[in-house]
Amino acid sequence: MRFRDGVFLSILAVASSPVFGQTDDSGRALPVVTVRGAVPERFLAGQKSQRIDSVSLEQFRFQTLTELLSATTPIAFKVYGPGQLSTASFRGTSANHTALLWNGININQPTLGQTDFSTLPVAGFDQLSVQYGASSSCLGSDAVGGSVLLSDTPDWKQPGLTVTAAQQFGSFQNRNSQIGLRFSSRQSNRWQVAGKTFFYTYRFPNRYPYRERGHYFVEQSNTDQKGFIQDFYFRNDKNHRISLNLWFTDNDLIVSPFDTVVRERTRSQSRRALATYEFKRLTIRAGWIRDVIDFARGNFNRPSHSETDRYIGRAEHEFSRNGGKWELTVRSGVEFSHYQTRVDGYHDSPIGEDRADLFLLSRLQTDRWRFSLNVRQAFVSRFDPPPAPSVGAEYLLLRQNRHSLTGKISLGRSYRVPTLNERYWKDLGNPNLRPENGFNAEAGLSGESSLGDRLKISGELTGFRNRIDDWSYWNPEFGYRVENLQLVVARGIEWSANLQYVHQKWKAGITPGYAYTRSSQERVYNTYAQDIVGKQLAFVPLHSARISVYAALGSTRLTVWHQAVSRRYTTFDNIQYLKGYQLTNLILETQLTTGIMKTRIQGQVNNLFDTLYLNVKRNAMPGRNFAVNLIIHLNTRKS
């Protein structure tokens, strides 16, 4: 490949362009093919979904998914400390009810059935979208409260090479380094290749200058994070496409590092590899994921070890018919996966398990209507989850030059296959556990309006009700043995809006959002359960709101991120709670271009008002802190 001089692609310009290279291929030599594998939203008509824009991804590139999703979505995180365990509660559900997909594959830890979002840096993927509500019909197990979708995409449209080096200098001696390159060959008539190599290493020694804030301890911990990403893409004029994606992560957390007797180390390592072959309307995928967790206290040489390998094979076929005024798309697929797990805490080890899924997704689009009808049946060794159908519709209620309004409605069943720990853990696990099953209903309105040439406004209002039965529960009354005890009903309202103003070199925007989430346990299964029936689920705030405001002149931009969370109960009977809090972060950035080098400088203030707020362990989170980020791109691309 030849390096060429070129004008750098403005990051902000990329942000405002729709999506990297998935559309607008028409007129070029290679055939128009949409990337189908990782876009399940297409079949979830009537449900809320949200794409996180690339400006936000760039602003949070030194932070984790927890921080980004807290600032941009109503997902409530249960955080144990900075750089420590962080689990998601989506629409009033538990940490097990959010499916996390990486390029279409669920990467929740199979032993825990959840993801520690603190181990996933925003720099680890290209695109992020959030699917609200149950979507098991499309996404399988765990997609009960909602789903988080990470994906990588090639830069087909921007041939050339970009080398990126980025460094963060933060308070508390925290440092992040990233280095990588992206490339895409020129679009010849025959074939094209593209790819990405990326390495990051984060060191958070967290040397706070204080031990306490407002009489609450600030826990001492340090976290080291390393990651490696390798993506490779190939396509040719015969409609063959091949992609390879690798993502290795290594997260090393030590709590109380200075005390060699009581220090606790949690090391989580994951290796994820995925190969995809697409030909015309057929997609075949093969994947391997290894998740390793080592936990040790005091002596780190003898950790308690947990290791799971997953081998995944999936074949999908899509059929499409265009009848002029309507277009029907039907996608059918089959997935097999084999699990092999060795966990020190299990009775038997290793344990093998096979799972299979059959699914049929369909979508009908007309001028004003969009329908979807999907069904999935999963099969798991020793028991079978219920079938998961879903149906949804969207109707364009209003369509004018400058205004549009869409009504949405959807119904769907969801399920969650019990985790390996829930079934196989010594004594406390329960091999007879049933899969949980949920029923999600939601309806909403979304609209867009242009008020003149400079001002655009959009908004969405959604109401939902999600009923989850056989909710499995590590019963604290029963030595924390896991049982299908509870029935949880979550209902709520979500509102979000966006106002954008553009005038010459000026840009400004406001993005507010609010969520009301009422989630409660409804079954009386013994005498004392009466005290928890109807009570708000622990760590689910009733109200959460966020707003981001920015103003930009050219490539200089000031953004303020603000979030407010109401009190979070810490016990099932709501007798105790952590106080609500508001958190404000600020980021000022600018960009300098010299020749082929583009330098982006960001200054960041986190917790601007030095708010005292507590994590799950009742330790204070850090006060006001700062970071300076330097991102350098060397680019041979023409934009």
Partner 1 sequence: MNSTKTWKLALALLAVVNWSCNDNDDTGSPSAQPYRSGVIIRNEGNFSQNNGSLSFLNRDAKTATYDIFSQANQRTLTGGVHGYTEVDGKGLILVDNSTAGQDKVEIVDGNTFQSLATLKSPDIENPRYAIRVGANKAYVSCWDVSGDFNNGTFYKDPGYIAVIDLGTNTVTKKIQVPKGPETMVMAGTEIFVGSAGGVKNVTVIDAATDQVKPPIEIGNNPNLIGLDANGKLWISSGREVIRVNPQTKAIENRLKVGTSTTKSPGTFRLSPDLQTVYFVYSFYDAADNFRQKGETYRFSINDTSIPAATPFINRLFSGLGVDPQTGILYAGFTPSLAQAGYVYRYQSNGTLIDSVKAEIGPSGFYFK
Among 23, 188, 381, 576, binds partner 1 (CB under 8 A): 576
Identify the CA nearest to 314 among candidates 301, 298, 291, 332: 332
| Nearest residue (CB) to partner 1, 477 versus 610 | 477
- Find the length of the chain: 639
Binding mask 246-265 for partner 1 (x = CB under 8 A): ---------xx--x-xx---
Examine residue 433 and tell whether it contacts partner 1 (CB under 8 A). no
| Nearest residue (CB) to partner 1, 209 versus 261 | 261
Identify the CA nearest to 202 among candidates 127, 107, 123: 123
SS3 category, 71: helix
Examine residue 575 and tell whether it contacts partner 1 (CB under 8 A). yes
Give me the DSSP letters along 339-387: EEEEETTBSSSSEEEEEEEEEEEEEEEESSEEEEEEEEEEEETTB-PPP
Binding-site size, partner 1 (CB under 8 A): 38
End-to-end CA distance of the chain: 18
Among 619, 625, 629, 635, binds partner 1 (CB under 8 A): 619
Rounded to whole angstroms, how far apart are CA atoms 614 and 318? 49
Examine residue 432 and tell whether it contacts partner 1 (CB under 8 A). no
Binding mask 208-247 for partner 1 (x = CB under 8 A): ------xxxx-xx---------------------------
* Residue 350: cis peptide before it, omega within 30 degrees of 0: yes
Identify the CA nearest to 140 among candidates 106, 90, 115: 106
Among 481, 518, 523, 543, binds partner 1 (CB under 8 A): 481
Q: Which stretch binds partner 1 (CB under 8 A): 179-187, 233-241, 297-305, 346-354?
A: 297-305
Contact 101, 107 (CB under 8 A): yes
Q: Which stretch binds partner 1 (CB under 8 A): 176-184, 448-456, 508-516, 566-574?
A: 566-574
Examine residue 377 and tell whether it contacts partner 1 (CB under 8 A). no
Q: Which long-range contacts (CB under 8 A, 24 or more apart) does 316-321 make?
A: 316/36, 316/37, 316/282, 316/283, 316/284, 316/285, 317/281, 317/282, 317/283, 318/36, 318/281, 318/283, 319/281, 320/281
Rounded to whole angstroms, how far apart are CA atoms 243 and 557? 35
Give me the DSSP letters along 209-224: S-SEETTEE---EEEE
| Nearest residue (CB) to partner 1, 384 versus 573 | 573
Among 42, 226, 290, 297, binds partner 1 (CB under 8 A): 297
Examine residue 618 and tell whether it contacts partner 1 (CB under 8 A). yes
Examine residue 25 and tell whether it contacts partner 1 (CB under 8 A). no
DSSP designation for 114: B
Examine residue 532 and tell whether it contacts partner 1 (CB under 8 A). yes
| Nearest residue (CB) to partner 1, 226 versus 297 | 297
Within 501-581, residue ranges assigned H as helices are none
Identify the CA nearest to 605 among candidates 548, 561, 563, 555: 561
Give me the DSSP letters along 164-199: EEEEEEEGGG-EEEEEEEEEE----SSEEEEEEEEE
Q: How far is the CB of 79 from partner 1 (least distance, A)?
A: 14
Q: How far is the CB of 114 from partner 1 (least distance, A)?
A: 17
Q: How far is the CB of 522 from partner 1 (least distance, A)?
A: 15
**Two tokens, residue 205:** 């020694």
| Nearest residue (CB) to partner 1, 100 versus 620 | 620
Q: How far is the CB of 614 from partner 1 (least distance, A)?
A: 9
**Two tokens, residue 617:** 């362990």
Rounded to whole angstroms, how far apart are CA atoms 639 and 634? 14
CB atoms within 10 A of CB 398: 11
| Nearest residue (CB) to partner 1, 298 versus 352 | 298
| Nearest residue (CB) to partner 1, 377 versus 475 | 475
Give me the DSSP letters along 540-562: --SEEEEEEEEEEETTEEEEEEE
Examine residue 324 and tell whether it contacts partner 1 (CB under 8 A). no
Q: Which stretch binds partner 1 (CB under 8 A): 293-301, 356-364, 450-458, 554-562?
A: 293-301
Examine residue 299 and tell whether it contacts partner 1 (CB under 8 A). yes
φ, ψ of residue 66 to 5 degrees: the values are -55, -50
Identify the CA nearest to 313 among candidates 339, 331, 336: 336
Q: How far is the CB of 256 from partner 1 (least distance, A)?
A: 5
Examine residue 506 and tell whether it contacts partner 1 (CB under 8 A). no
Q: How far is the CB of 528 from partner 1 (least distance, A)?
A: 4
Indicate left, alpha or beta for 476 from its phi (over 0: left) and psi (-120 to 50: alpha). alpha
DSSP designation for 133: S
Q: How far is the CB of 416 from partner 1 (least distance, A)?
A: 21
Examine residue 427 and tell whether it contacts partner 1 (CB under 8 A). yes
Among 4, 240, 503, 617, binds partner 1 (CB under 8 A): 617
Q: How far is the CB of 365 from partner 1 (least distance, A)?
A: 48
Among 163, 463, 531, 555, binds partner 1 (CB under 8 A): 531
Pairing type for strands 597-606 and 581-594 reads: antiparallel
Q: Which stretch binds partner 1 (CB under 8 A): 363-371, 454-462, 504-512, 570-578?
A: 570-578
Among 95, 123, 538, 587, binds partner 1 (CB under 8 A): 538
Give, for 149, the enclosing helix (H) or strand (E): strand 146-151
Q: How far is the CB of 471 from partner 1 (least distance, A)?
A: 14
Among 17, 187, 269, 475, binds partner 1 (CB under 8 A): 475
Q: Rg of the Cα trace of the chain?
A: 24
| Nearest residue (CB) to partner 1, 249 versus 484 | 484
Examine residue 488 and tell whether it contacts partner 1 (CB under 8 A). no
SS3 category, 526: coil
Examine residue 524 and tell whether it contacts partner 1 (CB under 8 A). no
Q: Which stretch binds partner 1 (CB under 8 A): 32-40, 146-154, 351-359, 470-478?
A: 470-478
Q: How far is the CB of 475 from partner 1 (least distance, A)?
A: 8
By CB under 8 A, what part of segment 135-174 binds partner 1? none
| Nearest residue (CB) to partner 1, 157 versus 263 | 263
Examine residue 479 and tell whether it contacts partner 1 (CB under 8 A). yes
Q: How far is the CB of 491 from partner 1 (least distance, A)?
A: 23
Q: Tell me which residues touch partner 1 (CB under 8 A).
A: 214-217, 219-220, 255-256, 259, 261-262, 297-299, 302, 427-428, 475-479, 481, 527-528, 531-532, 538, 570-573, 575-576, 616-619
